[in-house]
Structure 1
Amino acid sequence: MSSPFTIPGLEHIQPPAGQPSEPAPARAPSRRGPTREQLLEGLNEPQAEAVVHAGAPLLVVAGAGSGKTRVLTRRIAWLVAERGAHPGSILAITFTNKAAAEMKERVEELVGKRARLMWVSTFHSACVRILRKEVDKLGFKSSFSIYDSADSKRLMGLVLKELELDPKKYQPNAVLNWISDRKNELVDAEDAAKDTKNAFEAAYAAAYKTYQRRLREANAMDFDDLIMTTVHLLMAFPEVRETYRRRFRHVLVDEYQDTNHAQYALIHQLCAEHPEDAGSERVAPAELMVVGDADQSIYAFRGANIRNILDFEKDFADATSILLEQNYRSTQTILATANAVIGNNASRKPKRLWTDAGDGDRIVGWVADDEHAEARFVSDEIDRLVDAGARAGDVAVFYRTNAQSRVFEEIFMRTGQPYKVVGGVRFYERKEVRDALAYLRVLVNPADEISLRRVLNTPKRGIGDRAEACVNFLAEQERVTFFEALTMADRAPGIATRSAKAIKGFVDIIVELQQMVEAGERPDVILETVLDRSGYLAELEVSDDPQDGTRVENLAELVAVAREFSEDPVAGPSADPTDVEAGTVTPGLTDFLERVALVADSDQIPDNPDGEDVGVVTLMTLHTAKGLEFPIVFLTGLEDGVFPHQRSLGDPTELEEERRLAYVGITRAREKLYVSRAVVRSAWGAPSHNPASRFIDELPIDLVDWKRTADAAPRWSRSDPDANSFSRMGAPTDAGRRNFTSAAMRMDASSKAKSAREVPSLAPGDRVVHDSFGMGTVVALEGVGDKSVASVDFGSQGVKRLLLRYAPVEKL
């Protein structure tokens, strides 16, 4: 449509009056920016209502593919162009840096470079900006380091050693996941210690307390700290909260259904009424708009709370809700399928996606003999589609768990099908990149012991474990930081003269390089100097190992990233854009390190290829697929126990989340959707027969074209109930197939078996502890005696099937 005024029911829309805190700017003789007609052009009625809404908190329930990004960007542009809002008064929160950059770019196209003054960022980046200015009130220095998961794990290893806790019994990852859950609920170490239920949780709480102490000593925070600390700061210092409530007059939050309690609390601090702040100087709450879809809430395992979006109208009593149901992505057949599946969730508000793009092709269904046959079907079908004119880059293959990618990779490699798995070792996780960044972090924050220990003898400079231990003893004895102890290493008891001399050389390099940071040198120049002065680059360049050549290329890419950052005047996530634009702040090394530290996993997803490039097939989990779209989608592994996942089968709440995950997978497809399952799938090295997924039964019968059904699939041979093979009904077993059930094979296996452990007596619901996986809950049992198998949910570690005869598991 050409104008918003042609939409029935929207004739009444006029530019809303500005808020008291937003005096209307004087208009220039010629209008700057787009007209109101241009801002509303092409929007349907609910979208336009969301863009022009003013006053009460607004919830935009945006169904999959309903144009929520367009609504967000047009609303921001509307606030600036039509309501006179200063761009610096706008805070827009997204969940990835990539989404933030895209939103900022779109708004800048509409209103010009003024958009650079907005805060458009992730929760973590926004919190870092606040903390850099205010965290001294909590006893931190503004140069604090940000620890990623690898840094946290390394620190937790030191914590467990300090507390003399067995790292096999108290696995670092398990302890960190327990701590993360508490931080997401804003529970600090002291409160966590008061709420422990057994000896294991008491040990976890002690580790939490020590972990936080060592973080503070290192002037560092982990990712969860960034949000929790900001919320505690705003709660503890009302004057700080008031400063940011005055600053941000318009707050917009994307993907609201994915927020956890800490993120919810942050928004509440900035936008809700706080009676304790009553007074003549108090300003009205900021205008809040949240966008999300409860049907796409799939991150409960990360702490996301679906109640945040379901209860929005309870949390904000005067809230308004707008529903976006028109889909601009998929065919009506795909949408009808998605509607039918998600309609089986009881705890949801009614919503039905629709499109005027036509019905499109029917869904294609396939039942394969096993997972290898399923992968061969997918590969063959992709070949057929490409021959018919599709691009490999148009195709995505989704599965429930990362492990399922292996069989697709094997088949694709065999058939020569180009593919890319989203995941694996990402650029910033490579050793040489982490080493270089550790050097930079030490320059900014010498108290960062984890980074300091990483580079102390990298490259090799004659500082061994014994010398490091001597310095650590000196630090504890003198109650100084590890770096301060390095500066007086010659006084460390028992240290060798050669080691002390090597340490002095290392300290001299660090002190020399710190002067570049203090002088405000560009991050790329500092990085190149670090690689040169440390000897790191020289060691790689003289190496005969071809892998070291690749490492040099990766470091060159890191320098290129730093250079690109240095040349972007508003790239720094912690630098206030207003200050940057005014020329009073130049993004420096601290800002660059934050840019790197705050890169989200989903930012690593490859873009679809452009131009003549035919691209490659993308393989990814359903969780990773959220927010993406592809012309052709294969939704695989639709079996109960696989998808929906085994741990959800006995829990209605988790089963509803699995169904939302199916809904997300279905609505990623634009033109063609395939669903497939295997009759037999290998599990723990043995064939496992899983029934069809209950989600298959929920697909509309008339919309799915089953090219192969279960009737054509194999059945188990009834002649040997223990047989590790199967044959087609009525067909003889392959005579050439090795018989793994023979007495000889059983005797051979028995002779190699470990001696049996005492099998614990367990029941569903029992709490247990595993030497490697930590604490968990028994969800299912099968078999008896030595053949007893327990399925145990270890939280973020997932559900593990444990053969109790061998598993190092104890009942609590």
Structure 2
Amino acid sequence: MPDAAPAASLDTLLEGLNDPQKAAVVHGDGPLLVLAGAGSGKTRVLTHRIAYLVRTGQARPGEILAITFTNKAAQEMRERVGLLLGHSTRAMWVMTFHAACVRILRSEAPRLGYTRQFTIYDTSDSRRLVKRCLDELDVDAKRFTPAAVLNQISDAKNKLRDPEAYKQLQGSYYEQTIASVYERYQQQLHSMNAMDFDDLLNNVVACLELFPEVRARYQATFRHILVDEYQDTNHAQYRLLQLLAGKAGESPQNLMVVGDDGQSVYSFRGADIGNILNFQKDFPNAVQIKLEQNYRSTQNILSAANAVIGHNRNQIPKTLWTDQGEGDVIVVRELEDEHAEARYVVGEIERLVDEGVSRAEIAIFYRTNAQSRVMEDTLVRREIAYQVIGGTKFYERAEVKDAVAYLTILGNGQDVVSFTRVANSPRRGIGQTSLSRVINHASTMGIPVWEAAEDPMGVPGLGTAAVKALGRFMDTMNGLRAKMDEGIPVGDLLEAVLHETGYLDALEAERTIEAQGRKENLEELIEVAREFDHATAQDPGLDDTVDVFLQQISLVADADTREDDEGLVTLMTLHNAKGLEYPIVYLIGVEEGVFPHSRSIEEGTLEEERRLMYVGVTRAMRSLTLTHARRRAVFGGAPNYGLPSRFVAELPTDLVDRQGTASGWGAANVAAGAPRPRAVSSWGASGRSGGGGGGGGWGGGGEATPSYRTGDDVVHAAFGDGVVTGMQPGGMVTVRFAKDGSERTLLAEHAPMQKA
């Protein structure tokens, strides 16, 4: 080891670390598996390890690749390493898998037949392209929905199966059809110089496998690779790391992975728990270090978590402990139904706030998004401010996606999906038939769609009106492209796009609350672009170009949208809760069929549900309350009578204060194998945007059911002003809400809603 740092400096770096943490930080060459239990300081270990490598001269900043799963985590890691080292971390590759792959592909993409200005397709873009492929292949889109087909394609890519490999699998007619669509989809992506998120990983893997000189260069570049949340990696990510780390005996294999198999809860996204469970088999020289001291929770909470996860067979055993004392016992409260459950939780929150607790210290977790509605209604009625994590994200809003598509087609004239999205938005007389003719002509001639649209007279079958409309549109677009080529700031370009295409004028002409909200979203997007311009002006290493701007915003992850607000109670699903912590946690709906979810019972994935329970329990710092209801209505239908979750039975009795148990069903009945309740199979079938059904209205029971007609103005307790857009059998009413433009189907009898 080079003698590059004064001993005192290194002592300071290692100060305050416990023995296992210190062992991980000072580890020498070779693979290292750090099993980091919940709240055990894994980020501290990672950041100190990076700083230690630089401080001791084992690696220069540019020789370190540190991988995270969110942009927020990467930013936090960069900042913390910078503080430890006292200088910039700009040369380090501290970023997400996708960002690292984009950076590699901006250099290597031409080897695979792409230009360096390739477009990155998000899920909506990909779904739209899949729909086109389904239409071209004359496949029934009702039986093969674009979302379902894309999910199958993504799963294949996560497993590194290209269309040819997917075809070779023995399968049903359904799978054979998926294979045909997959093949067409990849051809179309490549012809449009575009990649979806999965391609970013797969194409880097392909580069490293196909070109030994590329593999050797990046193996030499990254002398040390560190990976956070390793239990969440899929097969493609595993293969990428394997290629970068090199083979045993040929390279030091300086790969450090940090994770917790007990928190592997993303199999539905392709995560493979086998990656962490088999790490020492895949890397035989690997050292294993367990971080079991918890700095977050009381011992009672940790003992409960240890007891629950102990029922899983497929795990690497670890025992969390703390020196922070035993703390309060865990409260398990049984309630009559979901409304009583919500009233109880909200009542407890009111009591805590009266005692001086900040609302920001309190979180409510649930298994599925659909469970939040009754809780939200109750919070609204009691006038308690709250935030829901996991709603519609900024970059998923239609007007924002339109603006991004305009910028995309300016930079990449081959992008058919972006062209299709913006050519008639706002409406300018270019219909779907005309668009199809332009696209087909471009495909037939083998030219970019931009080039075909520039010469509308040359497009067979295009009517006179469409020729004129397309000509005017392309004149505008060529003017905007000229501005882009002049190198004007992205913020100015985006503002010009929205004005000169008539997009903002069209919103202004609507004169609705929804249109005003969309304008405000676009103003916010311009602000995002201006912030990008400012950041690039400060950092000479960044290019102030449209494609770099689009690359940055395309990589924003869901978890990065979380807001910290001093005055808000936080609501979220257990999956969204991973990685967070709150002093006071309420975990609602802990019932068989709800949690564990009925689907997991049917599919045999109970161990993952139990890991999700472990995640939920270990988010709590000092107070944890679990609630379950004797009956629960699903979307306002007939109530399902339920048992307490088996996870309740797995809690040690001496750690639990059971309250309100009036029914004959107790945790012991579940453990003893009592008859299961009817499965709540429709929970989670639709997200929060799908609305919801049952639930006591503002005044509770006795009022007459309001009668609605299409066109009625209404006010909803949680969603605000809206207008009735349709009626359905069974007392269901569809309402379009002004605040976010969403449409929700509600049960009129129980919805907390009244005529305006």
Q: Which residue of 1 aligns with 2:601?
A: 649
Match for residue 227 of structure 2 among 253, 262, 278: 253
Deviates more, 1:589-598 or 1:538-547: 538-547
Larger radius of gyration: 1
**For residue 547 of structure 2, what is the amino acid of its counterpart?**
T
Aligned residue number for residue 152 of structure 1: 126
Taking only the aligned residue pairs, the percentage that are identical comes to 51
Partner of 1:693: 645
Return the match for 1:449 from 416, 426, 441.
416
Tell me if the contact between 1:270 and 1:285 (Cα under 8 Å) persists in the aligned partners.
Answer: no
- Does the 8 Å CA contact 1:255/1:292 hold for their aligned counterparts? yes
Deviation string 1:376-405 (CA, Å, 9 cap, x unpaired) is 111111111111111111111111111111
Aligned counterparts of 2:352 and 2:246: Cα–Cα separation in 1: 52
| Structure-to-structure mapping, 1:198-209, within 5 angstroms | 198-209=172-183
Report deviation, 1:737: 12
Choose 162-171 or 104-113, whichever is displaced more: 104-113
Q: Does 1:288 align with 2:262?
A: no
CA displacement at 1:570 relative to structure 2? 9.4
**Aligned mate of 2:634, from 666, 675, 683:** 683
Of 41-50 and 94-103, deviating more is 41-50
- Counterpart of 2:147 in 1: which secondary structure? helix
Give, in angstroms, the shift of residue 506 of structure 1: 1.7
Contact 2:643/2:665 (8 A) holds in 1: no
| Superposed CA RMSD | 2.3
Tell me the CA shift for residue 650 of structure 1: 4.6
SS at match of 2:442: helix
Post-superposition offset of 1:307: 0.8
Q: Do the aligned partners of 2:362 and 2:582 also contact (CA within 8 Å) in 1?
A: yes
SS at match of 2:239: helix
Partner of 2:628, secondary structure, is strand
CA distance in 1 between partners of 2:440 and 2:543 (Å): 40
Partner SS for 2:198? helix
Residues 687-725 of structure 1, C-alpha deviation per residue, up to 9 Å, x if partnerless?
1112211000011111111221144999xxxxxxx9xxx
Matches within 5 A, 1:577-726: 586-607=543-564, 609=565, 613=566, 615-652=567-604, 654-683=605-634, 685-711=637-663
1:105 matched residue in structure 2: 79
Q: Secondary structure in 1 aligned to 2:88?
A: helix
Could you say which residue in structure 2 is the equivalent of 1:57? Answer: 31
Q: Separation in 1 of the partners of 2:265 and 2:228?
A: 15
1:5: which partner in 2? none
In 2: Cα distance, 1:477 partner to 1:442 partner: 20
Alpha carbons of structure 1 residues 326 and 468: separation in structure 2 relative to 1, 3 Å = same
Q: Which amino acid aligns with 2:581?
A: E
| Structure 1 pair 465–361 and aligned structure 2 pair: CA distance change class (3 A) | same
**Alignment partners' CA distance in 1, 2:81 and 2:138:** 54
- Tell me the residue number matched to 1:44: 18
| Alpha carbons 1:439, 1:451 under 8 Å: kept | yes
**Which blocks of at least 5 consecutive residues in structure 1 are unaligned?**
1-16, 19-23, 279-283, 572-579, 715-721, 723-734, 739-751, 754-812
Measured in 1, the distance between the counterparts of 2:253 and 2:217 equals 12
Contact 1:527/1:559 (<8 A) preserved: yes
Deviations 1:327-354 (A, max 9, x none): 0111111111111111111122221111
Indicate the residue corresponding to 1:731 in structure 2.
none
Structure-1 residue corresponding to 2:103: 129
Query: 1:351 and 2:318 equivalent?
Result: yes
Distance 2:91 2:702 in 1: 72
Contact 2:30 2:253 in 1 (8 A): no
In the alignment, which residue of structure 1 is the partner of 2:387? 420
2:350 to 356, 360, 383: 383
Which amino acid in structure 2 is aligned with residue 629 of structure 1? E
Deviations 1:599-627 (A, max 9, x none): 111112222x3xxx4x1111111001000
- How many Å apart are 1:59 and its aligned residue? 0.7
Secondary structure, counterpart of 2:630 in structure 1: strand
Instruction: Map residues 423-434 of structure 1 onto 2, 5 A cutoff.
Output: 423-434=390-401
Aligned-residue offset at 1:166: 0.8
Residues 327-342 of structure 1 aligned to structure 2 (within 5 Å): 327-342=294-309
CA deviation after TM superposition for structure 1 residue 491, in Å: 1.8
Q: What is the CA–CA distance in structure 2 between the aligned matches of 1:362 and 1:176, rounded to whole Å?
A: 46
User: Measured at CA, do residues 713 and 60 of structure 1 come closer, stay the same or move farther in structure 2, by a change above 3 Å?
Assistant: closer
Aligned-pair CA distance for 1:112 = 3.3
Structure 2 gaps, min length 5: 667-677, 679-700, 705-728, 731-756
Question: What secondary structure does 1:349 align onto?
Answer: coil
Distance 1:52 1:525 in 2: 49
Aligned to 1:143: 117
CA contact (8 A) 2:337 2:630 kept: yes
Query: What's 1:557 paired with?
Result: 524
Which amino acid is the alignment partner of residue 79 of structure 1? L
- Residue pair 1:93, 1:100 contacting (<8 A) in 2 also: yes
Q: Determine if contact 1:87/1:114 at 8 Å carries over to the other structure.
A: no
| 1:37 Cα deviation after fit | 1.6
- Choose 74-83 or 329-338, whichever is displaced more: 74-83
| 3-state SS of paired residue (1:116) | coil
Q: Is the 8 A contact 1:368 1:713 kept in 2?
A: no
TM-score by length of 1: 0.80
| Alignment partners' CA distance in 2, 1:211 and 1:524 | 33
Deviation of 1:514 (Å): 2.3
Would the aligned equivalents of 2:644 and 2:665 in 1 still touch at CA under 8 Å?
no
Structure 2 residue identity aligned to 1:672: S
Alignment CA distance shift 1:122-1:690 (3 Å)? same
Residue in structure 1 matched with residue 273 of structure 2 by the alignment: 306
Give the partner amino acid of 1:173. Answer: A
Distance 1:225 1:551, change over 3 A: same
Question: What is the alpha-carbon distance in structure 1 between the residues aligned to residue 204 and residue 614 of structure 2?
Answer: 34
Q: Which residue type is aligned with residue 602 of structure 1?
A: A
CA deviations 1:293-332 (Å, max 9, x no partner) are 0010101111111110111111111110111011011111
> Compared with structure 1, are the counterparts of its residues 317 and 473 closer, same or farther at alpha carbon in structure 2 (3 Å cutoff)?
closer
Q: Match of 1:8?
A: none
Work out the CA distance in 1 between the residues paired with 2:483 and 2:325: 62
In structure 1, the residue matched to 2:427 is 460
> 1:262 and 1:173 mapped to 2: Cα distance?
21
CA drift at 1:84: 4.9
CA contact (8 A) 1:367 1:713 kept: no
Q: Is the 8 A contact 1:148 1:222 kept in 2?
A: yes
User: 1 CA distance for matches of 2:474 and 2:629?
Assistant: 60
CA shift digits 1:87-129 (9 cap, x unpaired): 1111000000000011001111122343111011111111111
The amino acid across from 2:577 in the alignment is A
Report the CA distance between 1:587 and its aligned residue: 4.1
- Higher mean C-alpha deviation, range 559-568 or range 539-548: 539-548
Match of 1:537 among 498, 504, 509: 504
State the shift of 1:736 in Å.
8.7
Farther off after superposition, 441-450 or 33-42:
33-42
Cα 1:569–1:88 shift into 2, 3 Å: farther
Aligned partners of 1:307 and 1:467: how far apart in 2? 50
Structure 2 CA distance, aligned partners of 1:601 and 1:542? 33
Alignment of 1:386-535 (within 5 A): 386-535=353-502
SS at match of 1:398: strand
**How far off its partner does 1:480 sit?**
2.6
Return the offset for 1:267: 0.2
Is the CA contact (8 Å cut-off) linking 1:364 and 1:706 kept in structure 2?
A: yes
Equivalent pairs counted in the alignment come to 672
Question: Match of 1:161?
Answer: 135
